[in-house]
Structure 1
Amino acid sequence: MLKPVIVQVAVPVPLYSLFDYLLPEAVEPASLIGCRVRVQFGRKSLVGLVVSTSHESSFALNRLKPVLEMIDTQAVLPSDLMTLLKWAAAYYHHPLGDVIFSALPKRLREGEPAVLKSENHWRLNAVGRGADADDLTRAPKQAALLRYLQSAEASEFTASQLNADWDNWRAPLQGLIKKSLVEVEEKVQSGTINESAAQPIKTQPSADSNFTLNAQQASAAADVIAALHSYQTFLLQGITGSGKTEVYLDIIEHALAQNLQVLVLVPEISLTPQLTRRFTQRLNTQIASLHSGLNDTQRHSAWVQASQGIARVVIGTRSALFTPLPDLGL
């Protein structure tokens, strides 16, 4: 008779222990580490994360509670990040469960799937852009909404945007759709900056910039580029305005050309928009921004796109260090 599989689960509570639970027989024990589970913890149901598996427990099997639900089919935190988080918990003498769950976006901590969500985007078609709202005399709400859509600066509208500017917009919008004035498209919610980039992985370094590295800059960039597929640290020293960012961009372009992801850490949130604009103007790739100033939807989407390799450049504060990046090279 096969011994039951016992999983050691970290839960987000201020306790230093892992907690043993029985894995249901219907669940395959392979690749469980790093997956989220739902477990009964006292009188509450909590989301936990599997840290290890075993066939032994210091408690009698009849005292162990079963896992209520397997939330993930594959790890949301890979083994290298799990090692880092365990080290951080030990070094700072902090409960492992709290450390692990601080590395996840709020929606993942609450048990939502680690997938990109989609939402409807509405836009006027050619007929709608040229339509005269005064012709809709028998539908005044549709006429008012049509004027709003025609006068707005945005070319597309989501539910959150319409909710902010318009009350009870769904019925008149549906009327405009039936009149073939508005069209709707379902799109994945994006936490990336450059949503229009059709090809997230470049094959050649960009030639868009007219900036040419001087001899010292080119030498510094070449040293880092030569070490892209190995571990090595570099210190790039230069005064303000000496062109350090151009060196970074040149190195990043070569990393992207080799199908590598890039993580750029900034010391504070206020620097993120400035750097993001600079990178967006130069790099033809998906750029995700990760910091505490994002709302839950933006952070979830950016985190998932980074963890799935969709976002090739991630710009963030120090907490972005705990984001899974499957192709990380710089």
Structure 2
Amino acid sequence: MTPDYRYVLVYVEHSFSDRAYPYTVPEELAELIEVGSRVLVPFGRRRAAKSERLGFVASRLREDELPAQPVGEILDVFDDGEPALSPELMQLALWMSEYYIAFPIEAIYAALPSAMRIRPKEVVSLSEFALQHPDEKIVKTELRRRIMQVLEKEKKLTIKQLQRRLGAKHIRLALRELERVGLIEVKKTFVPHAKPKLKVAYRLAQTCADSHELMQALERSKKQQEAVRKFLALAKPFAFADELGTSTATLNALVQKGIFVREKIPVARQFVESFSETRKEIQLSEEQQVAVQRVHQALERQEFKTFLLYGITGSGKTWVYIEAIRKALQMGKSVIVLVPEISLTPQTASRFRSYFGDEVRVLHSAMSDGEKFDAWQSLKQGRAKIALGPRSAVFAPMPNLGLIVVDEEHEASYKQHDQSPRYHARDVAVMRARFEQAVCLLGSATPSMESFQNAMTGKYELLTLTKRADAGSMPELKLIHIARAPKVSPSISEPLYQEICKRLERNEQVILFQNRRGYAGSVQCESCGWIQMCGSCSVPMVYHLREHHLRCHYCGKTMPMLTHCRRCGSEKLSFKSSGTERIEQELQELFPNERILRMDLDTTSRKDAHAKILQEFAQGKARILLGTQMVAKGLDFPNVTLVGALAADIGLSLPDFRASERLYALLLQVAGRAGRAEKKGEVYLQVYNLQSDIFRLLLSQDYRRFFGYEIAVRQQVQYPPFSRLVKIEFSGKNESEVAKAACEFSELLSPVLNAAQFDVLGPAPAVIAKLKGNFRYHLLLKQKNGARLTKPVYRSLQMQFQKRWRNKVKLDIDVDTQSIM
């Protein structure tokens, strides 16, 4: 920081403000602080009540640029001032804050993984005064006496440790009183969530330059001599004990003799899945060559551009990605590759590693904090050039970013649903590419309506792949009317069973898809029709056979399986709506000699579970893979010639305008898993509603026909892409209060909007009216002709709303919402 810039604006955590606060920079920190640096600042309304908080430097200021009097002086800077987020990522976070109407600090933390964050640590210890002057009058309560007794024995504990020792949560009031009178000290420090992993290494002391003399000196100690010989043979500046194949006792003896020096060296904890795939030589088709050439030209211009790569399933979109990445790396650029699901990461990562080796780093939630920390640092320091992962990988710290690939760009999982900012990673990827003058390559066999419309209007450049790679042919789709077809089990029809048998006779593989996990979607009384609902959510409880309990898939609540109806007392209970667990049981009974692999949230909760299941299927250790939508997209197994969708109607009747689009994309994607090599593939869809237009359009396997059908409906009712939707949600424990609050907010909102540019729909109860114990009402805002609800307008309404409803009704906003459920 130059001498002129003695002030900074800081976004302070837990400030619940859109403001960046001005602070003075002390002279000793002036050279360290940059935009994006993490700092410790005093914060609070009154000087005496100010607390220490973390913050991020938003900008540096001269005195004449100060917007207001400084709040105080920067207390400390972390990481020697090295920015936690680059200026480009700070710019992206602030754009997210504005567009998605979130506090800047929320957007900054969304861009920073938990492993890279700093957390406060409070340590309690006895003061010297307490050791010399124990005062029984002050320590008069049982809790205070117990605190003092524990500290006398253990001397120093964190507050969490102290809570565990005492078996009490609420101890802060007692701690404050003991600290006030000087009996204890509570010190607050800030520590990183994760640190570099250190491993003991050995190197030669500087005094041991002559190797011949050294070997002679160790003539009487053969083990030590052999350790030194192995070290010299490695020709490295240092070596670990396992590399030398020598006991630590021998190495420590060499340290004591002054021959070796022991030190701790940072080592990487690289996350590598157990799935592996051999490298395949790429021979591009004419269509692929055209697509690659267009992307290469854009990369060479080093200008922002967005492409939509629309290619049928199995058309080789991945090969286009690989050639684009290869070009970016040749230019010295770095690359981000986004995939929609963790289940796709093992196969995609293995494929990319087969071409780019150690340049690839995976980033996703199944990794430990240590693994995330090391991957993040490798990318930030340029030791690896390709970041790969789901949604949050869009924020990977890539110096000199040249390319962002978003595979399966239509997937709803790219949208953050549960916390602010509720960003869409695809749209954030486009904006990041724009800010950094990079190329954004979106790919899908079933593009989102918004993306394909952007391509039709010229906002994106459309690249098309109409033929399958490796001379493969599209699978044949067939419908089975499940209501009339004979069944061999509750979930599997006779025609589908016969087709499975044929594949097994030919030693081919089968993928079966059911978009519902658990054993049964609900338990119903046959006498009175009663269904066990979740007490906290307005959804049925799902039966899980393995645990023999009922579970809510929304809030996680569980209860023992019922023995009788709670309404009429009848013992006649039946299972409705088969899940993957029940179908696995049915398949095992139908094919007792076959190993059935099941892939759903219940079987993939452990680390690396996705990769292990996929690896076993790829190696032919099982010939039937059953799963939820985890098996529906992106997977490539040449020996799969049959795909069966067991309840293809699931989701079609949902009261959501995107239901048709999602079901079409899901079924076309799962159909695309069949016949991806020279073997012909077939797809059987078990359906109830044969008359649905969606199934008619699916049989043609022509996305453009579906797009034409769906876009006409959207235009008629002015839903996206002809408008942008904002969902405002009201939630609380008291339903009447929530309903009243929603109506009052609607009354505040309507007068400030231009009726020609905005339609206000609702408020009305949400489709799932109760979730996790809270009643929910939704208000939908349809923004037309480029109009947008701005943050200042929303904040003004929010302030008025909270004056009346604070602590009673929660208010949340979801810009570009992907679900109105």
TM-score surpassing 0.5?
Answer: yes
Tell me the equivalent position of 2:314. Answer: 241
Tell me the equivalent position of 2:397. Answer: 324
1:66 partnered with 2:73: yes
Select the residue among 2, 5, 22 that pairs with 1:20. 22
Distance 2:386 2:28 in 1: 39
Deviations 1:44-72 (A, max 9, x none): 4322110123322523x5xx321111224
Distance 2:318 2:195 in 1: 32
- 1:306 and 1:3, CA in 2 relative to 1: closer, same or farther beyond 3 A? closer
> What letter matches 1:313 in structure 2?
I
- 1:58 and 1:210, CA in 2 relative to 1: closer, same or farther beyond 3 A? closer
Q: C-alpha displacement at 1:279, in angstroms?
A: 0.8
Tell me the equivalent position of 1:10. Answer: 11
1:92 partnered with 2:137: no
Q: C-alpha displacement at 1:329, in angstroms?
A: 0.8
Deviations 1:250-286 (A, max 9, x none): 2211221221111101112221122101111122342
> What letter matches 1:223 in structure 2?
R
Q: C-alpha displacement at 1:310, in angstroms?
A: 1.6
Distance 2:352 2:250 in 1: 39
Select the residue among 334, 339, 358 that pairs with 1:266. 339
Q: C-alpha displacement at 1:187, in angstroms?
A: 5.0
Distance 1:113 1:327 in 2: 27
SS of equivalent residue, structure 1 residue 234: strand
Check whether the contact 2:117–2:193 (CA below 8 A) recurs between aligned residues.
no
What are the ranges of 5 or more consecutive residues in structure 2 without an aligned counterpart? Answer: 45-49, 119-189, 202-239, 255-261, 273-278, 404-821
SS of equivalent residue, structure 2 residue 73: coil
Q: C-alpha displacement at 1:38, in angstroms?
A: 1.4
Distance 1:256 1:121 in 2: 34
The equivalences for 1:1-330 within 5 A come to: 5-13=6-14, 15-16=16-17, 17-28=19-30, 32-42=34-44, 44-54=51-61, 55=63, 56-59=66-69, 64-71=71-78, 72-110=80-118, 117-120=196-199, 174-175=248-249, 177-178=251-252, 187-190=265-268, 192=270, 209-228=280-299, 229-330=302-403
Q: C-alpha displacement at 1:121, in angstroms?
A: 6.6
Q: C-alpha displacement at 1:239, in angstroms?
A: 2.0
> What letter matches 1:23 in structure 2?
V
> What letter matches 1:311 in structure 2?
A
SS of equivalent residue, structure 1 residue 262: strand
Distance 2:280 2:328 in 1: 17
- 1:65 and 1:272, CA in 2 relative to 1: closer, same or farther beyond 3 A? same
Distance 1:28 1:94 in 2: 30
Check whether the contact 2:22–2:67 (CA below 8 A) recurs between aligned residues.
yes
Worse-matched range after superposition: 215-224 or 30-39: 30-39
> What letter matches 1:251 in structure 2?
A
Q: Considering only aligned residues, what root-mean-square deviation do their CA atoms show, in Å?
A: 3.4
**Equivalent pairs, count:** 267
Q: C-alpha displacement at 1:307, in angstroms?
A: 1.7
Distance 1:209 1:186 in 2: 40
Distance 2:402 2:336 in 1: 8
Q: C-alpha displacement at 1:318, in angstroms?
A: 1.9
Tell me the equivalent position of 2:210. Answer: none
- 1:3 and 1:231, CA in 2 relative to 1: closer, same or farther beyond 3 A? closer
Check whether the contact 2:93–2:108 (CA below 8 A) recurs between aligned residues.
yes
| TM-score calculated relative to the size of structure 2 | 0.30
Worse-matched range after superposition: 309-318 or 18-27: 18-27
Check whether the contact 2:116–2:194 (CA below 8 A) recurs between aligned residues.
no
Check whether the contact 1:7–1:23 (CA below 8 A) recurs between aligned residues.
yes
Tell me the equivalent position of 1:128. Answer: none
Q: C-alpha displacement at 1:177, in angstroms?
A: 4.1
Check whether the contact 1:121–1:187 (CA below 8 A) recurs between aligned residues.
yes
Deviations 1:230-265 (A, max 9, x none): 221112222222211112112211221221111101
Check whether the contact 1:289–1:316 (CA below 8 A) recurs between aligned residues.
yes
Percent identity of equivalent pairs: 33
Worse-matched range after superposition: 18-27 or 91-100: 18-27
- 1:24 and 1:185, CA in 2 relative to 1: closer, same or farther beyond 3 A? closer
Distance 1:94 1:252 in 2: 33
SS of equivalent residue, structure 1 residue 236: strand
Check whether the contact 2:11–2:21 (CA below 8 A) recurs between aligned residues.
yes
Worse-matched range after superposition: 72-81 or 310-319: 72-81
Q: Which has the higher contact order (CA 8 A, sep 6+)?
A: 1
Check whether the contact 2:194–2:370 (CA below 8 A) recurs between aligned residues.
no
SS of equivalent residue, structure 1 residue 9: strand
Check whether the contact 1:14–1:98 (CA below 8 A) recurs between aligned residues.
no
- 1:230 and 1:173, CA in 2 relative to 1: closer, same or farther beyond 3 A? same
What are the ranges of 5 or more consecutive residues in structure 1 without an aligned counterpart? Answer: 123-154, 158-171, 195-207
> What letter matches 2:56 in structure 1?
L
SS of equivalent residue, structure 1 residue 37: strand
The structure with the larger Rg is: 2
Q: C-alpha displacement at 1:220, in angstroms?
A: 1.1
Deviations 1:20-59 (A, max 9, x none): 2221022326862111111233454322110123322523
- 1:269 and 1:33, CA in 2 relative to 1: closer, same or farther beyond 3 A? same
Q: C-alpha displacement at 1:215, in angstroms?
A: 1.5
